[in-house]
Structure 1
Amino acid sequence: MSASKVVFLPGAVLPAPLAYSGLVDLLGDDVEAIVKDLEVYRGASPPADYSLDTEVDGVLRETGARGWTRFHLVGYSGGGAAALACAASEPSRLLTLSLLEPAWGGHWDWSPRHERLWSEYDALAQLSHEDFMAAFTRLQVRSEVRLPEPRSAPPPVWMSRRPAGIRALMRTFKTYALDRNALRRFDRPVYFALGGLSNPDQYGEIAERLGGVFRDFTLEVFHQRHHFDPPHRQEPSRLAESLRSVWLRGDLLASAGAD
């Protein structure tokens, strides 16, 4: 069987090559990869009309340039939210969908705990860039998790654009109309990797909701991982095995003409 064609979308902090280099290197010749940065960082500042559709358009542009008609899509955090939007709006293009703790999962009848968490995210809007990033990361993990102290060395140049990009993503999460019925109709394999130390009021509840929507849904819990030491960086061998399994199923379904 030929190499699997896969698009990897990162979160809103690390650039895609830094986020996925270890995993893609491990996958080797089994994968023909597009490791794609988010469109929110394509220019000097987020586009004024930015939405998750901007990210979907970017995925279609890059795959179109390669001549790919069908592909596997992997998205982490903000990239996971973009991957969900792609599954809803362009389902025929996807062979499989792999979600690595998507930051947002659409508009549902969320629990009070989930709603309170998003109110806490809203309250970060007035913070300075430095304070914003510290509070933003703290909210996404369990209270007992000890996050690393900020480094004393100057941050990389790309880091200065992250608060604006994260805020743009959070704004579109409030208004974007993710088509739930389209997700219910999506019949390709869906894989979800969940960190056991991530904030369950966010990522655990998103996994639970999506697990009740997608027809073919596999949840894998990485008990020692959280959102900022995710499996694609800390347990790439285990994740690679899981991804290969779901990609094989997707490729076989496509070969059998199960559309």
Structure 2
Amino acid sequence: MEPIRAILLPGAVLPADLAYTPLVEALGHNVQAVPKELELYKDEEPPAGWTLDTEVEGVLREADARGWQTFHLVGYSGGGAAALAFAAKHPERLQSLALLEPAWAGHWDWSHAYTEHRSEYQELEALPPEQFMPAFMRLQVRPDVVLPPQEQTPPPPWMARRPAGVRAFLQDFKNYHLDRSRLAAFSNPVFFALGGLSHPDEYGELASRLARVFFPDFHLEVFPRRHHFDPPHRMEPERLAEGLRRHWASAEGQREPQHEATESQAH
């Protein structure tokens, strides 16, 4: 049997290798899982004119360099937004899509709660770097979640580029055109991993909207003890790997597709 081929896009904070090493190990030798660093961080500053399309083109180059005509795409947070953009632009290249709490999913059908919550991101723009990242993290988890304190040791060198990278994502989300009709035409299996402790007005809303508006073959899996900053690909990689293997088996025709949500695992 041919090995499963998957490209893994990280979020805007941890580098791809650090983010996905536990998941790659859990997936095992029969999966060619490639953590791909964001184009956003190839240089010291975000590339001029960077958008989600820059990440889309980077995924294309990665797949073409490996000779992969089709493959599975996994995206977390900002990488999840880029994965949605890729599915809208190049659906013929994807066998499936897996979204690990994508940071954004278009401008349409926002609920009042989601609209109010997204407006709070505007207040981050005036903050200095040392306040920006803690405030950015706080918005994405339930109010009663205790986030770890900032470490007193010097941060790793790559961290210096992250505030500018996060701001680039937030700016592009205001203007990027995610083609609704093309995304709605994507018929291959879609997997969504949701942390039970992530902010419900953001990630719970996104999961509900994507299941309701798009994706006839949609599977939601809830990880009750996880939130956006201790995500399952790092904290529960074995369980996530099992879910992804089922998802990929469905995409490759090894079982009938279905539309379901694993709500029981949220309790």
Q: What is the TM-score of this pair, normalised by structure 1?
A: 0.96
Aligned to 1:248: 249
AA aligned to 1:115 is T
Query: Using the alignment, how far apart are the partners of 1:99 and 1:6 within structure 2?
Result: 13
Query: Using the alignment, how far apart are the partners of 1:24 and 1:162 within structure 2?
Result: 23
AA aligned to 2:236 is E
Query: Using the alignment, how far apart are the partners of 1:234 and 1:175 within structure 2?
Result: 33
CA deviation map 1:90-129 (0-9, x unaligned)? 0000000000000001111312221122211111001110
Query: Using the alignment, how far apart are the partners of 1:174 and 1:251 within structure 2?
Result: 35
Secondary structure at 1:252 match in 2: coil
Aligned to 2:60: 60
Query: Using the alignment, how far apart are the partners of 2:80 and 2:157 within structure 1?
Result: 24
5+ long unaligned stretches in structure 2:
255-267
Deviation at 1:231, TM superposition (A): 0.5
| Aligned sequence identity (%) | 60
On the 8 A contact 2:75/2:102 being kept in 1, the answer is: yes
AA aligned to 1:40 is L
Secondary structure at 1:7 match in 2: strand
Is residue 216 from structure 1 mapped to residue 209 from structure 2 by the alignment? no
Deviation at 1:252, TM superposition (A): 2.1
CA deviation map 1:125-145 (0-9, x unaligned)? 011101000000000000010
Query: Using the alignment, how far apart are the partners of 1:72 and 1:249 within structure 2?
Result: 12
Query: Using the alignment, how far apart are the partners of 1:10 and 1:245 within structure 2?
Result: 21
Aligned to 1:257: none
Is residue 139 from structure 1 mapped to residue 139 from structure 2 by the alignment? yes
On the 8 A contact 2:188/2:251 being kept in 1, the answer is: yes
Aligned to 2:264: none
CA deviation map 1:188-233 (0-9, x unaligned)? 1000000010001110101011001111100111111100010101
Deviation at 1:48, TM superposition (A): 2.0
Give 1:231-246 correspondences, 5 Å limit.
Answer: 231-246=232-247
Aligned to 2:231: 230
Deviation at 1:180, TM superposition (A): 1.1
Over the residues paired in the alignment, what is the CA RMSD in angstroms?
0.9
Query: Using the alignment, how far apart are the partners of 1:37 and 1:126 within structure 2?
Result: 28
Is residue 10 from structure 1 mapped to residue 10 from structure 2 by the alignment? yes
Deviation at 1:184, TM superposition (A): 1.2
Query: Using the alignment, how far apart are the partners of 1:236 and 1:34 within structure 2?
Result: 15
On the 8 A contact 2:109/2:209 being kept in 1, the answer is: no
Query: Using the alignment, how far apart are the partners of 2:154 and 2:60 within structure 1?
Result: 36
Dislocated runs of 4+, deviation >3 Å: none
Give 1:51-200 correspondences, 5 Å limit.
Answer: 51-200=51-200
Query: Using the alignment, how far apart are the partners of 2:41 and 2:115 within structure 1?
Result: 28
Query: Using the alignment, how far apart are the partners of 2:217 and 2:175 within structure 1?
Result: 27
Deviation at 1:26, TM superposition (A): 1.4
Secondary structure at 2:29 match in 1: helix
AA aligned to 1:79 is G
Query: Using the alignment, how far apart are the partners of 2:237 and 2:33 within structure 1?
Result: 15
Deviation at 1:183, TM superposition (A): 1.4
AA aligned to 1:135 is A
Secondary structure at 2:222 match in 1: strand
